[in-house]
Structure 1
Amino acid sequence: MEIVYLLLGIAIGAALVWIILRSKSATKLAVATEKTNSALHELVSLKSDLNQKQEEILQLNNSLTASRTDLKNLETKLREQKEELVKLRETFNLEFKNLANEILEEKTKKFTEQNKNHLDEILKPFSEKIKDFEKKVEETYDKEAQQRFSLKEQVKQLAELNQQISKEANSLTQALKGESKTQGNWGEVILESILEHTGLRKGIEYTVQESFTLDDGKRFQPDVIVHYPGDRSVVIDSKVSLTAYERYASAEEEMERQEALKAHLLSVRNHINELSDKKYEDLEGIKTLDFVMLFMPVEPAYLLAIQNDPQLWTYAYERRILLISPTNLVAVLKMVESLWKQEYQSRNVLEIARQGGGLYDSFVLLSERLLNLGRKMEDATKLYRETMQNLSNGKGNLIGRVEKLKALGIKAKKQLPDSLLKRAIDEGEEENSVE
């Protein structure tokens, strides 16, 4: 019986050992499963980030291709315009020469010194206008040539600019974390640096830190105001959210990471509310668009907020705020620069048309004056012939009579030209023969 109890005890002990070992294995399996799920989740997140980066690279490549196509089309158009202008100038010069020669050949072959001086006075203003017009055209094409060269350089530097901005943001993150004033100043520097690299001119196409004072004495100073053609503008205000983002990036525990993420999203929403309350779009003195751009200079911080708060963009837009990152801002500013180039080209075309109209009017005036001069010369020639006929024609003409006075013994120091005397004698003989 003791042997039975002994065997029964051994069996019970073995069963207890087997149960304990199985419980530990299940715990380890659960831990391993949790780690595997976490690794899979992180792998999915990394794949999503990779796909987004690849999509951004594709968009940049498409933008680069479009810019190159626009550049090629612009060069072709400018070349055609220049060829047309050269042909127009040659045709104009030829027609002017033909018309001037025709008028001069029809009217007279010999001008007196007085008539030459008078013609110079007429042609001088016309010549000066032609020179001014040619100078204006040359300046226009020189300026457009500079713009074409600038566009090539900007297209080449577009990708480099985005890389530079990202590197600057990453290198300064550690130095700026926790200091709101320093972060704000750094964001404004990044914003102005992007503006300078996109080709817009400070004080012309955009202004920095322009002050506005309301009737109640409140003073507003937007970071940047970008001007559009058509007397329109848009306010860009830089807002930096780095403190919570830095904690998120450096967090080792998931709970700490989630808390930092919530703080980062809250910080962005607070910036949106703060900017919306200023109502820059309603400021008097500038014709702004119906929204304000909130610029986040740190691209990863911008992407983190957009990815983890799907309603963030709508939340901002409802408050007339547009969230924008360095990559998006570069694209927007390049579009603004393109609009200004088209505006300047339109102005040049209008100026050329105005100058051409003035030039044509001057040419018409010159033609009218030349025709009037020809008529006066014809009248003078007719009057000269009639006067000469009155001097020498007929019996007892004036030349014959004054010569008879001389023959009677009057004293004179000068003598009539032989041609006049001969003509008067011939006319007198013809009259006698007729009688």
Structure 2
Amino acid sequence: MLLHPLKENIKAFENKVDKVYQTEAAERNILKGEISKLMELNRQISDEANNLTKALKADSKKQGNWGEVVLDRILEASGLIQNESYIKQSSFTDENGNRLQPDVVVTLPDNKHLIIDSKVSLIAYNKLVNCETEIERIQYLNDHITSIRSHIKNLCSKNYCDLYSINSPDFVLLFVPIESSFAIAVQHDIELFEFAWNKRVVIVTPSTLLATLKTISSVWKQEQQTRNAIDIATRAGALYDKFAGFLDDLKKIGDNLDKAKDAYSDAFNKLSSGNGNLIGRVETLKKLGAKTSKQISNEI
């Protein structure tokens, strides 16, 4: 008995040690997992950096493909759902029969659409960031700005906003996947953004596009909540009308039951009360000697 408290203390200490060990083991596993994720992320970043370097030195088609990969990442991060909130590589035909295929068509509430195109050329930009002389820098900078303006004109000529099957705002988003490539262009060509706007084109980079798509995702959530509220109100109204109709039917049943009860009472009175009632007559027949096998209840 004297050692019992000591045993309890030892047991409690053992439990604490086990708990600490389990906690540390769990934390080590979590840390290991985070380190693995970090290593994988670093590997992806390295791979993407290599891919970007190759894309910069490759032709425009490969650069466009790389831009579409970055665009896909942003779409996934925005919370929008593919084939519900947006569609990739949809084909359309203009009034002249020409086939058009924007990279992404984002669906907005009220059956409206927003077009994103990611046709980007980074050859001049790559030469710009790798040049060594001031003369080369000026030349490649001008080439880079000219390339962007050329993309804007090309995108404007497609007239995406005028497609009969698309209810789009009066502009198209031109996605540039490298922030610095747009920043240096607009820094030295302050009229670039206005030039694009006049061509019904808005230039967006990863940060501005993500903010735009996040806003659209939020609008869709609010739209869904509004639709749910309207649906709930409609269902509640229908339920109320159904319940009111049910109460009316119950009242009719009650009224008919009251009428049936009154009719039953009238019929029973004619059967059992008054001079010459039927029960009195048949009882008289029994008294006169009619053979019977049953007896009418005295309660009637």
- TM-score, length basis structure 1: 0.57
Task: Give 1:229's aligned residue.
Answer: 109
Task: Give 1:343's aligned residue.
Answer: 223
Q: Is 1:413 aligned to 2:293, yes or no? A: yes
Identity within the alignment, %: 43
Q: CA deviation at 1:223?
A: 0.4
- The structure with the largest helix share of the pair is 1
CA distance in 2, matches of 1:366, 1:383: 25
**8 Å CA contact retained: 1:205, 1:227:** yes
Using a 3 Å threshold, how does the CA distance of structure 1 residues 233 and 167 change in structure 2: closer, same or farther? farther
CA distance in 2, matches of 1:250, 1:189: 24
CA distance in 2, matches of 1:419, 1:303: 105
Tell me which structure has the larger Cα radius of gyration.
Answer: 1
Q: CA deviation at 1:168?
A: 7.7
One-letter identity of the residue aligned with 2:222: Q
Q: CA deviation at 1:215?
A: 4.5
Task: Give 1:359's aligned residue.
Answer: 239
Task: Give 2:34's aligned residue.
Answer: none
Q: Is 1:399 aligned to 2:279, yes or no? A: yes
Where structure 1 has 5 or more consecutive residues not aligned to the other structure, the ranges are 1-164, 421-435
CA distance in 2, matches of 1:387, 1:198: 79
Q: CA deviation at 1:396?
A: 2.4
Aligned mate of 1:173, from 39, 48, 52: 52
Which SS does the other structure have where 1:288 is aligned?
coil
CA distance in 2, matches of 1:295, 1:340: 22
CA distance in 1, matches of 2:66, 2:211: 21
Task: Give 1:247's aligned residue.
Answer: 127
CA distance in 2, matches of 1:400, 1:345: 75
Show CA shifts across 1:163-182 (max 9, x none). Answer: xx998875533111232111
CA distance in 2, matches of 1:327, 1:228: 20
One-letter identity of the residue aligned with 2:53: Q
Task: Give 1:30's aligned residue.
Answer: none
Q: Is 1:217 aligned to 2:97, yes or no? A: yes
**8 Å CA contact retained: 1:184, 1:240:** yes
Which SS does the other structure have where 2:266 is aligned?
helix
One-letter identity of the residue aligned with 1:235: I
Using a 3 Å threshold, how does the CA distance of structure 1 residues 215 and 276 change in structure 2: closer, same or farther? closer
Task: Give 2:166's aligned residue.
Answer: 286
- Alignment map for 1:247-396 (pairs within 5 Å): 247-396=127-276
Q: CA deviation at 1:202?
A: 0.8
* Number of aligned residues: 258
Q: CA deviation at 1:400?
A: 0.4
CA distance in 1, matches of 2:240, 2:87: 41
Q: Which runs of 4+ in 1 moved over 4 A?
A: 165-171
**8 Å CA contact retained: 1:178, 1:242:** no
One-letter identity of the residue aligned with 1:175: K
Which SS does the other structure have where 1:322 is aligned?
strand
Which SS does the other structure have where 2:171 is aligned?
strand
- Alignment map for 1:144-155 (pairs within 5 Å): none
Show CA shifts across 1:135-177 (max 9, x none). Answer: xxxxxxxxxxxxxxxxxxxxxxxxxxxxxx9988755331112
Show CA shifts across 1:274-299 (max 9, x none). Answer: 10111111111111111011000111
Q: CA deviation at 1:392?
A: 1.6
Aligned mate of 2:65, from 185, 194, 199: 185
CA distance in 2, matches of 1:311, 1:178: 29
One-letter identity of the residue aligned with 1:257: R
**8 Å CA contact retained: 1:292, 1:320:** yes
**8 Å CA contact retained: 2:52, 2:66:** no
CA distance in 1, matches of 2:266, 2:46: 96
**8 Å CA contact retained: 2:89, 2:102:** yes
Could you say what the CA RMSD is over the residues aligned between the two structures, in angstroms?
2.0
**8 Å CA contact retained: 1:238, 1:294:** yes
